[in-house]
Structure 1
Amino acid sequence: MAYNAHLGRVGIWAAALRTEDTARRPQVEEAAAELEELGYRTLWIGGSPSPDMAHQLLAATSRATVGTSILSIWQHAAPEVAARHAQLTEEYGGRFLLGLGVSHAEAQSGHTLDHPLADRPYSAMRSYLDVLDNAPHPVPVEGRALAALGPKMLQLAAERSLGALPYLVTAAHTAEARDILGADPLLAPELKVILQRPGADRSAAYATARDYLSFYLALANYRNSLLRLGFAESDFADGGSDRLIDAVVAIGDAEAIRARVDEFFTAGADHVALQVVTPGIGTDLPREEWRTLADALPLSD
């Protein structure tokens, strides 16, 4: 799809780009503008951001695509999302990409859908897409993508969106996802990164990774996805085994990170969304790391 070229080959995924703190907003906007100047064509906002949070980054940039990765369908009503998508598209020339997801079964209380589908996430997503399709200003297929891990959701992403945004996956998952999606849909996996100097002791990086992964490894959808990839329940203990961390986190210097990103491209990814993991993730804006990666990675075709 021609639209994929607008995303570039490597983007930045960061929950810290999501903010409702007016005092912090200038720092976030300045960081977004620098990311664009460094050559990153897509900025992914983590943590179920609202379209209004995407608006902040769109206003701070002039060329970059800004994507939600992901907006939870349980927290944002589809008619309101469709209306806001239309406004942002008109104002920013199609630079907004609506990434949608069903989030986690453990966090689905208080959802905004008008039918009881909290225990049927696939059906809930289909229903949500139906509303987007039938809104006064529909969200076009090429303007939305789905957070998809399993075969059914990947197939839905291929049929009814631009493609898939898998989170916490391996290159092997990317290869399987490409087989399910087919050749044309977008495949943009997220990859966690911890930059280290050459020859540095990996123990600190493993500790940082385990501290961050412990939250995700407690969630059934990620555990099930990793089990399908051949991991065992024992790999989830204490923030993850070395084997698991090595598979889902790229640790090393810029050259090592480049090699891991290339593995995902070889497996069939169109775009890789890099998340720099630091001890202060969620609030840190790791601009030095983003600069180092920009020098090492193929940001465009």
Structure 2
Amino acid sequence: MTDHQFGPFGLSTGLDSSPHSLDAARAAEELGYPTIWLSGGPLPGLQTIVDLIEATKSIRFVSGILAVDQYSAADVSTTYAALEASAPGRFTVGLGGAHGPKPLATLNKYLDEVDVPLDRRVLAALGPRMLELARDRSAGGYPFLVTAAYSAEARKVLGPDKLLAVSHLVVLESDADRARAIARDTIGFFPQIPGYAASLKRQGFTEKDQAELPDHMVDALAAWGTPADIKAKLSEHLDAGADTVAVNVITGVTGPQPIEQWRALAPTLLA
């Protein structure tokens, strides 16, 4: 496995440039989390990455991910260069989101144009061809909504020296019914997306599973329980070959960042 200094456990969350988000980033840093993987969907723009890095001292940020159909290679290159000059080593460019009939060709063309070193960019990767592209043209792959068994197979594709970073859902709730209900609210959206539906099918989840979200599927894709329970579940990815797990805490409510959950998990995850 590789050492990209992301630590075994980081955080995955959506942040913007608001005071609350900047405070959340500072709180994560103070708690000792080494890395924040910024969810691409909620990211309002590249300036947010600059604002977050300027608001903190040492925590690393990865754009997880920037959709290549929304951000030009030139703008990403300029942002990376500026941050590398002002805060070297603190920003890694995560790319993906190539839509249309030829996503691999689209990503290859983008990677030809973007001026970011190979070892400072990662690719969102679910299927085997995307993992191969991540292996050949970036530091490694960043999949989401995958099992530990997927991590073991992904490691085989990537080889021993490439980064495998896995984003995994976490619910800090010990009541099984409540925890699974919260997880289902999030998981249920993804089978509607063709790429995720295909990925889940490759992982052994049938169309019926994807429609009904049975307990065994929820338990495979979301870690819940006590901090110790959650660490044990997330560690399955590390044992299977992942280098780092981006902890995506969900609470079932829309609103402030889950700083209290980050705080409750930190003594166990960062021990």
TM-score range, shorter chain: over 0.9
Q: Does 1:219 align with 2:210?
A: no
Asked if 1 retains the 8 angstrom alpha-carbon contact of 2:169 and 2:223, the reply is yes
Query: Which residue of 2 is the match for residue 206 of structure 1?
Result: 180
Query: Which residue of 1 is the match for residue 241 of structure 2?
Result: 268
Asked if 1 retains the 8 angstrom alpha-carbon contact of 2:95 and 2:124, the reply is yes
What is the correspondence of 1:151-190 to structure 2 with a 5 Å cutoff? 151-190=128-167
What is the correspondence of 1:55-74 to structure 2 with a 5 Å cutoff? 55-74=50-69
Secondary structure at the aligned position of 2:122 is classed as strand
What is the correspondence of 1:222-237 to structure 2 with a 5 Å cutoff? 222-237=196-211
Bigger CA drift: 62-71 or 44-53?
44-53
Secondary structure at the aligned position of 2:49 is classed as helix
Extract unaligned runs of 5+ from structure 2. none
Using the size of structure 1 for normalisation, the TM-score is 0.86
Q: Distance in 2 between matches of 1:289 and 1:65?
A: 20
Query: Which residue of 1 is the match for residue 111 of structure 2?
Result: 129
Query: Which residue of 2 is the match for residue 287 of structure 1?
Result: 259
Q: Distance in 2 between matches of 1:181 and 1:36?
A: 30
Query: Which residue of 1 is the match for residue 231 of structure 2?
Result: 258
Q: Distance in 1 between matches of 2:25 and 2:243?
A: 22
Secondary structure at the aligned position of 1:43 is classed as strand
Shift of residue 80, structure 1, vs aligned partner: 1.5
Shift of residue 63, structure 1, vs aligned partner: 0.8
Secondary structure at the aligned position of 1:149 is classed as coil
Query: Which residue of 1 is the match for residue 20 of structure 2?
Result: 27
Q: Does 1:277 align with 2:250?
A: yes
Secondary structure at the aligned position of 1:188 is classed as strand
Secondary structure at the aligned position of 1:246 is classed as helix
Among 243, 249, 258, the residue aligned to 2:216 = 243
Query: Which residue of 1 is the match for residue 169 of structure 2?
Result: 192
Q: Distance in 2 between matches of 1:42 and 1:186?
A: 14
Shift of residue 10, structure 1, vs aligned partner: 0.6
What is the correspondence of 1:110-149 to structure 2 with a 5 Å cutoff? 118-132=100-114, 138-149=115-126
Query: Which residue of 2 is the match for residue 51 of structure 1?
Result: 46
Shift of residue 2, structure 1, vs aligned partner: 7.0
* 1:258-283 Cα deviation digits (max 9, x unpaired): 101111110001000000011124x3
Percent identical among aligned pairs is 40
Q: How much is the aligned-residue C-alpha RMSD, in angstroms?
A: 1.5
Cα 1:166–1:2 shift into 2, 3 Å: closer
Amino acid aligned to 1:256: D
Secondary structure at the aligned position of 2:85 is classed as helix
Asked if 1 retains the 8 angstrom alpha-carbon contact of 2:2 and 2:243, the reply is no
Shift of residue 3, structure 1, vs aligned partner: 5.5
* 1:36-61 Cα deviation digits (max 9, x unpaired): 11111101111343322211211111
Q: Distance in 2 between matches of 1:53 and 1:235?
A: 37
Among 76, 90, 103, the residue aligned to 1:81 = 76
Secondary structure at the aligned position of 2:189 is classed as helix
Q: Distance in 2 between matches of 1:171 and 1:293?
A: 20
Shift of residue 163, structure 1, vs aligned partner: 0.7
Q: Distance in 2 between matches of 1:120 and 1:234?
A: 29
Asked if 1 retains the 8 angstrom alpha-carbon contact of 2:2 and 2:163, the reply is no
Asked if 1 retains the 8 angstrom alpha-carbon contact of 2:151 and 2:242, the reply is yes
Amino acid aligned to 1:36: E
Amino acid aligned to 1:127: K
Amino acid aligned to 1:166: P
Q: Distance in 2 between matches of 1:284 and 1:31?
A: 9
